[in-house]
Copies of this chain bind each other. A is one copy, B any other.
Amino acid sequence: MQRFVISPQQKRAEQIQLTREQQHYLYRVLRLQRGDRAIALDGEGTAWIVQLQEDSAVIIELLNVQTELPISVTLIAALPKGNIFDEVVRSATELGVTTILPTLSDRALLKPSPQKLERWRRIAKEAAEQSERQIVPTLLDPVSFNDALHLTAETRDRYLCVARGNPQHLLASLQNFTSHSLVIAIGPEGGWTSLEVDRAIASGFQTVSLGKRVLRAATAPLAALSLIAAVLESYSNSQEY
């Protein structure tokens, strides 16, 4: 069944008022017709099966699906050059990320335009629909690396991926994981500067490795989030935990 995300004010009792864009998407792009069913998501964890009317949709039933990770996962990602971040936002969303915090590192100082932020939020929304999530990840406004450290200071389990040196592998570090939220930080092309690594460690981060090969800035967040999601989901499914 096709999926679309609504905002809270669109829902009144059992009726959802469709925006012009949603009508275009549902009737023109997806070629659905009046009377067809679809899934409406509020982007915060609730989903309904709805029946399409002309410019509204009637809620048929609450949907009981759960494709979200059991804990909150925040990705701190240094903004890379070019359009790589589109792909990072899309695949991080597919892999279950809760919050994305873009960061201006010493090696990646470019501040994105409001249009870019808008674009990334749209990509997150589309990817949440396509990967059948209940929650649309939050993409925060970019902050400095120092601010990213401060903003996540409350979280005990914070990991900084580094390309060099010989820290423990992220997968091994995740075996000791105990709390209800997790922060993973991925550097820009060329890696974090040693000053940034030192600051992160002083702030309570644990440095981890993603393996022996050098990953691109586009691949590293996926590799890290794949491991995090797998550990969280294969443990919660298994009887050994």
| Cα of A9 to Cα of B55 in the assembled complex, Å | 70
Asked whether B172 lies within 8 Å of A67 as measured between CB atoms, the reply is no
Docked complex: A157-208 residues within 8 A CB-CB of B: 168-172
Asked whether B233 lies within 8 Å of A230 as measured between CB atoms, the reply is no
A86 at the interface (CB under 8 A from B): no
* Besides A68-B212, A130-B216, A169-B238, 7 other A-B contacts (C-beta < 8 A): A94-B214, A94-B216, A130-B214, A131-B215, A169-B233, A172-B238, A222-B223
Known contacts A133-B213, A213-B132; decide if A230 and B94 are in contact (CB<8 Å).
no
Instruction: Determine how close the nearest CB of chain B comes to the CB of A94; give it in whole angstroms.
Output: 5
Asked whether A219 lies within 8 Å of B222 as measured between CB atoms, the reply is yes
Q: Which of A168, A218, A227 has the most CB of B within 10 A?
A: A227
CB pairs A–B below 8 angstroms (26 shown): A91-B216, A94-B214, A94-B216, A95-B213, A96-B213, A130-B216, A131-B214, A132-B213, A132-B214, A133-B213, A168-B237, A169-B230, A169-B237, A169-B238, A170-B230, A170-B234, A171-B234, A172-B237, A212-B233, A213-B229, A219-B222, A222-B222, A223-B226, A223-B229, A226-B226, A226-B227
- Please give the number of chain A residues whose Cβ is less than 8 angstroms from any Cβ of chain B in the complex: 37
| Cα of A96 to Cα of B218 in the assembled complex, Å | 16
The residues of B that contact A68 with a CB separation of less than 8 Å are 212
A231 at the interface (CB under 8 A from B): yes
Instruction: Determine how close the nearest CB of chain B comes to the CB of A108; give it in whole angstroms.
Output: 18
The chain B residue with its CB closest to the CB of A67 is B212
The residues of B that contact A222 with a CB separation of less than 8 Å are 91, 219, 222-223, 226
Asked whether A94 lies within 8 Å of B213 as measured between CB atoms, the reply is yes
Asked whether B231 lies within 8 Å of A171 as measured between CB atoms, the reply is yes
| Cα of A66 to Cα of B211 in the assembled complex, Å | 11
The chain B residue with its CB closest to the CB of A169 is B234
